[in-house]
Amino acid sequence: MRRAYLTLAFLLPASMAGLAEARAALAPNYQRLAELRAILEDPAVIAAFGVAPIARIARVGPDSYLVASETCQLSVRIVGQPLPSGMVGPRRFSVSAGKASCRGAR
């Protein structure tokens, strides 16, 4: 009987620790890659630049990026989406593109 109590004493805290870490987020480098891919594939971002190639994407803050070509800049935000109740997994998000600021003719 004593052995059963000792087993429970060790297993219960270990299983409770697993509950605290129930969200299986992506590693930061993979999360960033997912965000960059989503930005590049977003229809609003594609439309904002037309045929002008994107020259750079800079992270300017948490969930905030600046996408630029040679003549245009576009602010883009990553908007977190809640996971369904009881679900775990990587962060769900959408891309929210601002209005492009361009100099000269495109």
Question: pLDDT tens-digit profile of 17-73?
Answer: 544 444 568 899 999 999 999 999 999 999 999 999 999 999 999 999 999 999 999
- For 23, left (φ over 0), alpha (ψ -120 to 50), or beta? beta
Question: Could you tell me the pTM of the whole model?
Answer: 0.72
User: Rounded to whole angstroms, how far apart are CA atoms 14 and 47?
Assistant: 50
Q: Nearest 5°: phi and psi at 4?
A: -65, -40
Q: How far apart are CA 32 and CA 12, in angstroms?
A: 35
What DSSP state is assigned to residue 87? -
Task: Please tell me the least confidently modeled range out of 6-10, 65-69, 90-94.
Answer: 6-10
